[in-house]
Amino acid sequence: MPKEQSLQKAMDYIEKNLINDISYYDIVREAGLSVPHFYRLFKRLTGDTVGAYIVRRRLSMAANDLADRNKSIVSIAFEYGFESHDVFTRAFTRVYGMSPSKYRKSAASAPLKRLTAK
């Protein structure tokens, strides 16, 4: 199997399991590669370690959920596998440059942009 196809299978597995506990060995098994080879390939092709990639994807999904006022920030944090509100807030702030509550407020006050076909 080509390297890119192996990596795509691993990334598909990660995407399907973002709200679950993800075992690195399950990801590697999905890719069908040895552990060291997979980690080198993943880092080379994505620029991230597997762990950093997963955290970044979870934060991205959490950012989308923050616009939903029906979900509390704490429930979003736990949904995406963060062990506490504080851990989530620190990680979110490091990536987005603002706290989840500030992000939520800025998302709520931003005007809706309509996409038009050209």
pLDDT at 59: 97
Higher pLDDT, 111 or 29: 29
Q: What is the model's pLDDT at position 40?
A: 93
Q: What is the reported pTM? A: 0.84
Q: Which fold has domain 49-105?
A: Arc Repressor Mutant, subunit A (1.10.10)
pLDDT band at 1 (very low <50, low <70, confident <90, very high): low
> Does residue 67 register a pLDDT over 80?
yes
SS3 (DSSP) at 112: coil
Q: Which of 55, 56, 77 is nearest to 66 (CA)?
A: 77
Mean pLDDT of the chain: 89
* Residue ranges covered by each domain of the chain: 1-47, 49-105
